[in-house]
Amino acid sequence: MRTLTVAAIQAQLTDDVETNILHLSDLVRQAHQRGAQLIVLPELFEGHYFCKEEREIHFQRAHPVKKHPTIAHFEALARELEVVIPVSFFEKAGTVYYNSVAMIDAGGVNLGVYRKSHIPDGPGYEEKFYFRPGNTGFRVWRTRYGRIGVGICWDQWFPEAARVMTLMGAEVLVYPTAIGSEPHDPTLDTKDPWQRVMVGHAVANVIPVVAANRVGNEGGQVFYGSSFIANPRGDLVAEADRSQEAVLVHKFDLGEIERLRAAYGFFRDRRPGLYKALLTADGVI
């Protein structure tokens, strides 16, 4: 039996980097004490979600991967606790900027960076002002405890991303997230569709999905939490509420999931030659 115990951290964040790092480190320790080997933190957890408005001062939040103080901190923590931690951060790469995740393995080694592929642009989520679309392609890392695929927030709405990472050998998909209220329409609540689309990824790819969101009111933008862990059947085996911090933990038998994926036949019966329209923007081949 080869198992993997995953955790999703749901946190309320201040706009002070050091305060958030210390707080999340405590939550990581709580997850570790409950047996977690892979611990997923929210998107851009170093501060408030700054992308709700276009202000050039926020570019000061970005740092290069090398010698990034937050990455270095979680490398040390991962080494100490022997856990895997995907670290979301605002990356400065020369003259351009990315919304990125560094995959920190259980030995404290940074296995590499994934840069967010899909960049949203709308009221309250004006990320195109800050981030260039990622150039890494989708990535899957062979960590000490299993093969991990990572998407970042808006990526989670795209079934193509989940399929590609599973085809690349991912055994679990994780999504650091920052999502909540829609400033232009107070009646719009995306919580249920947000969960359902990722549950669909779990079912269609027969793979566990872990989503970690933030909670709290950040200058009028209210993040709705609802972080969860879904099994390959689409059952929510752990779920947080809309307002409280949470440490969600669940153990999966990776060998059993591999056998289940083979038995369902979704990958056996795929017809890639029929999907050429997916390589176009408008379906015209």
**What residue ranges do the domains of the chain occupy?**
3-279
DSSP structural state of residue 136: S
Secondary structure E strands in 105-151: 110-115, 121-122, 125-126, 140-142, 147-150
Q: Identify the active-site residue in 43, 171, 218, 245.
A: 43
List the catalytic residue out of 46, 75, 92, 116.
116
How confident is the model over 138-188, as pLDDT tens digits? Answer: 999 999 999 999 999 999 999 999 999 999 999 999 999 999 999 999 999
Mean pLDDT of 47-59: 97
Q: What is the pLDDT of residues 77-131, one digit of tens each?
A: 999 999 999 999 999 999 999 999 999 999 999 999 999 999 999 999 999 999 9
End-to-end CA distance of the chain: 45
Residue 1: is its pLDDT beyond 90? no
| Residue 51 annotated in active site | no
Give residue-wise pLDDT tens across range 3-47.
Answer: 999 999 999 999 999 999 999 999 999 999 999 999 999 999 999
Q: Are 8 and 248 in contact (CB under 8 A)?
A: yes
Q: What is residue 17's predicted lDDT score, i.e. its pLDDT?
A: 98
pLDDT the model gives residue 271: 98
Which one is catalytic: 52, 91, 92, 153?
Answer: 153
| Side-chain half-sphere CA neighbours of 134 within 13 A | 23
pLDDT in tens, 193-251: 999 999 999 999 999 999 999 999 999 999 999 999 999 999 999 999 999 999 999 99
- 3 state DSSP class of 275: coil
DSSP code of residue 2? -
Instruction: Write out the two tokens for 196.
Output: 């359902």
| The pLDDT of residue 33 | 98
- Topology of the domain covering 3-279: Nitrilase/N-carbamoyl-D-aminoacid amidohydrolase (3.60.110)
Q: Identify which of 46, 20, 32, 9 has the alpha carbon closest to the alpha carbon of residue 176.
A: 9
Rounded CA-CA distance 18/46 in Å is 8
Asked if 158 and 118 touch (Cβ cutoff 8 Å), the reply is yes
What is the reported pLDDT for 161?
Answer: 98
User: Per-residue pLDDT for 67 more than 90?
Assistant: no
Contacts of 32 (CB under 8 A, 6+ apart): 39, 81, 83
